[in-house]
Chain A
Amino acid sequence: MAHVVLTDLVKTYGNFKAVNDVTLTVGDGEFVALVGPSGCGKTTTLNLIAGLIPITSGEIAIGDRVVNDVDPKDRDIAMVFQNYALYPQKSVYKNLAFPLQMRKLPRAEIDRKVKDAARVLDMTHLLERKPRELSGGQQQRVALGRALVRDPAVFLMDEPLSNLDAKLRVQMRSEIKRFHQDLKATIIYVTHDQLEAVTMADRMAVMKGGFLQQYDSPAQVFAHPVNMFVASFIGSPAMSLIPVEARTVDGRAVLTGAEGWTMALSPLNARKVRNSTTKKVVLGARHSTIKLHRNAMPDAIPAKAYTVEPTGDVTFVQALLSGATVNISVPPNVVVQPDEPIWLEFDQERLHLFDGETEIALMAD
Chain B
Amino acid sequence: MTTATGLADARLRKKAKREGILQQAWTRRADYLYVLPAILVMLVVIAYPIYYTVDLSFFNTPPGLQLRDKVFVGLNNYVVILGSDVVWRVTVNTVIWTFFSTVFSFALGLGSALALHRDFAGRGVMRAILIIPWVVSAVAASYIWKWIYHSDFGVIGAVLVGLGLAAHPPNFIDSVSTVLPSLIVVNVWREFPFAMIMLMAGLQTVPEQLLRAAKVDGASAWQRFWHVTFPHLRGVSTVTILLLAVSNFNSFIIPWIMTGGGPSNASHIWITHIYELAFGRQRWGIASAYSVLLFLILMSLGYFYVRALSSGDRKERGA
Q: Which residues of A contact B (CB under 8 A)?
A: 50, 52, 72-73, 77-79, 81-83, 85, 87-90, 98-99, 102-103, 132, 146, 150
A-B contact count (CB 8 A): 53
Indicate if the CB atoms of B218 and A82 lie closer than 8 Å: no
Residues of chain B from 247 to 268 with CB closer than 8 A to chain A in the complex = none
Q: Could you tell me the distance between the alpha carbons of A329 and B304 in the complex, rounded to whole angstroms?
A: 64
Indicate if the CB atoms of A98 and B215 lie closer than 8 Å: no
Q: Let me know if B231 is at the binding interface, CB within 8 A.
A: yes
| B29-37, B60-68, B126-134, B204-212 - interface stretch | B204-212
**Least CB distance, A99 to chain B, in whole angstroms:** 4
Fill in one digit per residue for B197-241: 1 if any A CB lies within 8 Å of its CB, else 0.
000000000010110111111110001000110011010000000
Indicate if the CB atoms of B231 and A52 lie closer than 8 Å: no
Q: Which residues of A have CB within 8 Å of B218?
A: 72-73, 99, 102-103
Partner of B216, one of A50, A82, A88, A90: A50
Contacts A98-B227, A102-B223; A85 near B207 (Cβ below 8 A): yes
Indicate if the CB atoms of A81 and B231 lie closer than 8 Å: no
Indicate if the CB atoms of A87 and B227 lie closer than 8 Å: yes
**Least CB distance, A89 to chain B, in whole angstroms:** 4
Indicate if the CB atoms of A81 and B209 lie closer than 8 Å: yes
Indicate if the CB atoms of A87 and B210 lie closer than 8 Å: yes
Partner of B219, one of A77, A88, A90, A102: A102
Q: Could you tell me the distance between the alpha carbons of A132 and B219 in the complex, rounded to whole angstroms?
A: 23
Q: Which residues of B have CB within 8 Å of A52?
A: 212, 215-216
Q: Could you tell me the distance between the alpha carbons of A83 and B208 in the complex, rounded to whole angstroms?
A: 10
**Least CB distance, A93 to chain B, in whole angstroms:** 15
Interface SS of B by simple majority = helix
Query: Nearest chain-A residue to B234 (Cβ)?
Result: A89
Q: Which residues of B have CB within 8 Å of A103?
A: 218
**Least CB distance, B237 to chain A, in whole angstroms:** 13
Q: Which residues of A have CB within 8 Å of B219?
A: 73, 98, 102
**Least CB distance, A242 to chain B, in whole angstroms:** 43
Indicate if the CB atoms of A79 and B213 lie closer than 8 Å: yes
Q: Could you tell me the distance between the alpha carbons of A90 and B231 in the complex, rounded to whole angstroms?
A: 10
Fill in one digit per residue for B160-193: 1 if any A CB lies within 8 Å of its CB, else 0.
0000000000000000000000000000000000
Q: Could you tell me the distance between the alpha carbons of A83 and B219 in the complex, rounded to whole angstroms?
A: 19
Residues of chain B from 273 to 319 with CB closer than 8 A to chain A in the complex = 315
Indicate if the CB atoms of B209 and A82 lie closer than 8 Å: yes
Q: Could you tell me the distance between the alpha carbons of A137 and B294 in the complex, rounded to whole angstroms?
A: 51
Q: Which residues of B have CB within 8 Å of A83?
A: 207, 209
Q: Which residues of B contact A (CB under 8 A)?
A: 207, 209-210, 212-219, 223, 227-228, 231-232, 234, 315
Q: Which residues of A have CB within 8 Å of B215?
A: 52, 72-73
Indicate if the CB atoms of A146 and B212 lie closer than 8 Å: no
Q: Could you tell me the distance between the alpha carbons of A89 and B232 in the complex, rounded to whole angstroms?
A: 8
Q: Which residues of A have CB within 8 Å of B216?
A: 50, 52, 72-73, 77-79
Partner of B217, one of A82, A89, A146: A146
Q: Could you tell me the distance between the alpha carbons of A72 and B212 in the complex, rounded to whole angstroms?
A: 10
Q: Could you tell me the distance between the alpha carbons of A73 and B212 in the complex, rounded to whole angstroms?
A: 11
Q: Could you tell me the distance between the alpha carbons of A50 and B213 in the complex, rounded to whole angstroms?
A: 11
Query: Nearest chain-B residue to A143 (Cβ)?
Result: B213
Q: Which residues of B have CB within 8 Å of A88?
A: 231-232
Q: Which residues of A have CB within 8 Å of B315?
A: 132
Q: Could you tell me the distance between the alpha carbons of A146 and B234 in the complex, rounded to whole angstroms?
A: 24
Q: Which residues of A have CB within 8 Å of B234?
A: 89
Q: Could you tell me the distance between the alpha carbons of A126 and B264 in the complex, rounded to whole angstroms?
A: 61
Q: Which residues of A have CB within 8 Å of B228?
A: 87
Query: Nearest chain-B residue to A73 (Cβ)?
Result: B218
Q: Can you name 14 A-B pairs with beta carbons within 8 Å?
A: A72-B215, A73-B215, A73-B216, A73-B218, A73-B219, A87-B227, A87-B231, A88-B231, A90-B227, A98-B214, A98-B227, A102-B217, A102-B223, A150-B217
Indicate if the CB atoms of A89 and B212 lie closer than 8 Å: no
**Least CB distance, A338 to chain B, in whole angstroms:** 46
Between A78, A79, A103, the greatest number of chain B beta carbons within 10 A of the residue's beta carbon is seen for: A79
Q: Which residues of A have CB within 8 Å of B217?
A: 73, 98-99, 102, 146, 150
Query: Nearest chain-A residue to B227 (Cβ)?
Result: A87
**Least CB distance, A355 to chain B, in whole angstroms:** 42
Q: Could you tell me the distance between the alpha carbons of A76 and B210 in the complex, rounded to whole angstroms?
A: 19
Q: Which residues of B have CB within 8 Å of A79?
A: 212-213, 216
**Least CB distance, A260 to chain B, in whole angstroms:** 56
Contacts A72-B216, A73-B215, A103-B218 known; 16 new A-B pairs at CB < 8 A: A50-B216, A52-B216, A72-B215, A73-B217, A82-B209, A83-B207, A85-B209, A87-B210, A87-B231, A88-B231, A89-B231, A98-B227, A99-B217, A102-B219, A102-B223, A150-B217
Q: Could you tell me the distance between the alpha carbons of A150 and B234 in the complex, rounded to whole angstroms?
A: 29
Query: Nearest chain-B residue to A77 (Cβ)?
Result: B216
Q: Could you tell me the distance between the alpha carbons of A102 and B213 in the complex, rounded to whole angstroms?
A: 12
Query: Nearest chain-B residue to A47 (Cβ)?
Result: B212
Indicate if the CB atoms of A85 and B213 lie closer than 8 Å: yes
Query: Nearest chain-A residue to B213 (Cβ)?
Result: A85
Q: Could you tell me the distance between the alpha carbons of A52 and B210 in the complex, rounded to whole angstroms?
A: 12
**Least CB distance, B162 to chain A, in whole angstroms:** 50
Indicate if the CB atoms of B227 and A81 lie closer than 8 Å: no
**Least CB distance, B289 to chain A, in whole angstroms:** 43
Query: Nearest chain-A residue to B212 (Cβ)?
Result: A52
Q: Which residues of A have CB within 8 Å of B223?
A: 102
Query: Nearest chain-B residue to A147 (Cβ)?
Result: B216
Q: Could you tell me the distance between the alpha carbons of A152 and B232 in the complex, rounded to whole angstroms?
A: 28
Q: Which residues of B have CB within 8 Å of A82?
A: 209
Query: Nearest chain-B residue to A83 (Cβ)?
Result: B209
Q: Could you tell me the distance between the alpha carbons of A276 and B127 in the complex, rounded to whole angstroms?
A: 63
**Least CB distance, B210 to chain A, in whole angstroms:** 5
Q: Could you tell me the distance between the alpha carbons of A79 and B217 in the complex, rounded to whole angstroms?
A: 8
